[in-house]
Structure 1
Amino acid sequence: MIDTSSHVVARNNEGNTEQRKEHCSNIKISNTEKVWTSLVAGAAAGGLAKTTIAPLDRTKINFQISKKPYSAKAAMKFIVNSYHKEGLMSLWRGNSATMVRIVPYAAIQFTAHEQWKRVLKVNGTETTSTTMRFLAGSLAGVTSQSMTYPLDLVRARMAVTEKSEYRTLRQVFTRIYRQEGLMAFYRGFLATILGVIPYAGCSFFTYGTLKNISAVYTENSPGLAAISSLVCGALAGAVGQTSSYPMDIVRRRIQTSAIKGQHYHTIYSSATKIYAEEGAMAFFKGLSMNWVKGPVAAGISYATYDVVCNGLRKIIN
């Protein structure tokens, strides 16, 4: 339990610590400068985080779209078999598509979050409405997902196929367009949006809340602040992943149904089919791996964003 009186004293002495620490938004620069620094910091954060956990991400997707039961042993077997059959770099198969998607996605998401906070008057303090904090995160997720969704679908297709089937991003885009039509690039989009609302909302809300709580103790210690960002980001990632995971299963089935010869079309029919054939626990297949990779990715992402964003804004300020 944090002592409220000490919190008040600290805010008076440090000049409103909470506002200074949440996503480096209190450094006095123009909104245009805020936008481009957020874009650069978000791009760096997303690229580093996703590359770090790419092998686990590919493994998770393969279990999500199959009826095979998930276990840590089975996951390790998949990784080892991929290594023996296709080499070490096969574990990063689809990561080029991930980078093409995640760099603009993360850049847009972090920037949109900051701008939505400005629009909704989320000021980073404890007096801010819980609903507004959650809404700002959710809208940031919807904004970024809507603008980059085709790249997410392509990444999923590459992650679950052999290299001989899809060799390049251009080949994937061309084949999907010719064989399935333009609308195929948005297959599973509604399921994704329904999943990203609780994920982004819970993730940004949890991170902002935890950073506010810890800021008073890390203000004068850059090293401790970096560790705090990692820990808060990890916890935010775990909360966000857990809240949205069942919908993630549904969207992956819909995204990859065309190449797997399976019939997953609408959210309702897909969810019903999964439940009837595999049971309720199928909606949480691979979640334990997400509790490993999700917090790692989120921790790296939030920490990288804070460091790069703060650094750029201090340079131009």
Structure 2
Amino acid sequence: MSSSQGPALSTNVARLADGSTSQKEVPFVVNLPLYVKELIAGGAAGAIAKTSVAPLERIKILVQTRTAGFHSLGVYQSLRRLLNHEGVRGFYKGNGASVLRIVPYAALHYMTYEQYRCWILNNYSALGTGSLVDLLAGSAAGGTAVLCTYPLDLARTKLAYQVVDRRCSLGNGIKNIHGPPTYSGIHNVLKSVYKQGGARALYRGVGPTLVGILPYAGLKFYIYEELKSHVPDEHQTSIPMRLSCGAMAGLFGQTLTYPLDVVRRQMQVEHLQPSSHSVRYRNTMDGLTTIVRNQGWRQLFAGLSINYFKIVPSVAIGFTAYDTMKAWLHIPPRQKSKVPAA
């Protein structure tokens, strides 16, 4: 790293970017296994990023699932309506389940990506060391993380789907303006779902989730690494560069796989919808065709604009937090630690 004199802030940012902070700052983590450090860094970054965009995530779910009173509103009007009904706390309903899910999800996603990538490089050298390896490793890591954390994602969606009018709290209680059962928390959701349909019910909608996450996770890493490969060496450790490449990768990946996310959300909440609107999808393809036939093809992209609004800050915060944690935990830059091993 360059040792030229400059502002202290610039020096610190550069050190965080390339992981060259002094080991005296965190002596207790020096001897941790690399995969444990990757788990900690990924989990922390995921929690910070997810909480920062929780209000937009809540609105996106309400739009995707055609919640009464929200499906025809814009972002600003939806946020305002939600604030009137549930107050500021309503912006973060389901965020506890979301963070509880994203910590192990992000931790597993980053760690298994690194492990899968290293394994591919060591065992399938014919694939080279380019972006194809990132595509395969990213897809495998995404599938692994989803299978391990899906019930928590289901709980998050069911909690976020509920819209409770707290303006009625001046009386003896609050009013659920939808009519379906009101879940009191993550444990209550998981217990109720398991009681109704067993373990299989906890994975309702996992099909379209896997179909969507495999290409999305792979494309995200593929596009990110491909964009970075065109950046001059002197800018490889630049945080703005990483954030820009990551945001572009997320935007492209989300656009291509977003319809599958809409099917997943509708499958997750179909038991909560009024019987007159309830439609059971047999599988992912049936969900796609039924939505197009009954709701129009535009519904496959419902909430996508909100996703654009949230994904840029989410990726930016996530990458910054992950890079900071990597530096704090003394995780070597992946390009230096993995590629030579091939």
TM-score range, shorter chain: 0.7 to 0.9
Q: Which residue of 234, 256, 260 maps to 1:247?
A: 260
- Post-superposition shift, 1:314? 6.0
Q: Which residue is equivalent to 2:41?
A: 41
Q: Per-residue displacement from partner, 1:253-296 (whole Å, max 9, x unpaired)? A: 11111111412332232222211112212111111111121122
SS of residue matched to 2:148: helix
Which of 1 and 2 has greater Rg? 2
Q: Which residue is equivalent to 2:295?
A: 278
Letter in 2 for 1:138: S
Q: Which residue is equivalent to 2:280?
A: 264
CA distance in 1, matches of 2:17, 2:113: 12
Q: Which residue is equivalent to 1:110?
A: 110
Pair 1:226 & 2:227 matched:
no
Q: 2:17–2:324: 8 Å Cα contact kept in structure 1?
A: no
CA distance in 2, matches of 1:174, 1:52: 28
Residues 1:128 and 1:270: Cα distance change in structure 2 (over 3 Å): same
Q: 2:137–2:218: 8 Å Cα contact kept in structure 1?
A: yes
CA distance in 1, matches of 2:144, 2:18: 18
Q: Which residue of 250, 259, 270 maps to 1:237?
A: 250
Aligned pairs for 1:14-33 (under 5 A) are 33=33
Q: 2:212–2:257: 8 Å Cα contact kept in structure 1?
A: yes
Q: Percent of counterpart pairs with the same letter? A: 34
Residues 1:133 and 1:194: Cα distance change in structure 2 (over 3 Å): same
Unaligned runs of 5+ in 2: 1-15, 20-28, 165-175, 177-181, 333-342
Instruction: Say which is worse superposed, 195-204 or 303-312, in terms of deviation.
Output: 303-312
Instruction: Say which is worse superposed, 206-215 or 158-167, in terms of deviation.
Output: 206-215
Residues 1:208 and 1:310: Cα distance change in structure 2 (over 3 Å): farther
Q: Which residue is equivalent to 2:213?
A: 196
Q: 2:57–2:310: 8 Å Cα contact kept in structure 1?
A: yes
Residues 1:23 and 1:254: Cα distance change in structure 2 (over 3 Å): farther
Q: Which residue is equivalent to 1:161?
A: 162
Q: Which residue is equivalent to 2:66?
A: 66
Residues 1:23 and 1:244: Cα distance change in structure 2 (over 3 Å): farther
SS of residue matched to 1:41: helix
Question: TM-score, normalization: structure 2?
Answer: 0.76
Q: Per-residue displacement from partner, 1:80-105 (whole Å, max 9, x unpaired)? A: 11111211111111000001100100
Residues 1:172 and 1:70: Cα distance change in structure 2 (over 3 Å): closer
SS of residue matched to 2:254: helix
CA distance in 2, matches of 1:314, 1:62: 39
Letter in 2 for 1:143: T
- Post-superposition shift, 1:209? 2.3
Q: Which residue of 325, 330, 338 maps to 1:308?
A: 325
- Post-superposition shift, 1:229? 1.9
Q: 1:134–1:205: 8 Å Cα contact kept in structure 2?
A: yes
Question: TM-score, normalization: structure 1?
Answer: 0.82
CA distance in 2, matches of 1:215, 1:178: 56
- Post-superposition shift, 1:115? 0.4
Letter in 2 for 1:189: V
Q: 1:145–1:193: 8 Å Cα contact kept in structure 2?
A: yes
Unaligned runs of 5+ in 1: 1-20
Letter in 2 for 1:255: Q
RMSD: 2.9
Q: Which residue is equivalent to 1:7?
A: none
Letter in 2 for 1:284: F
Q: 2:131–2:225: 8 Å Cα contact kept in structure 1?
A: no
Residues 1:287 and 1:35: Cα distance change in structure 2 (over 3 Å): same
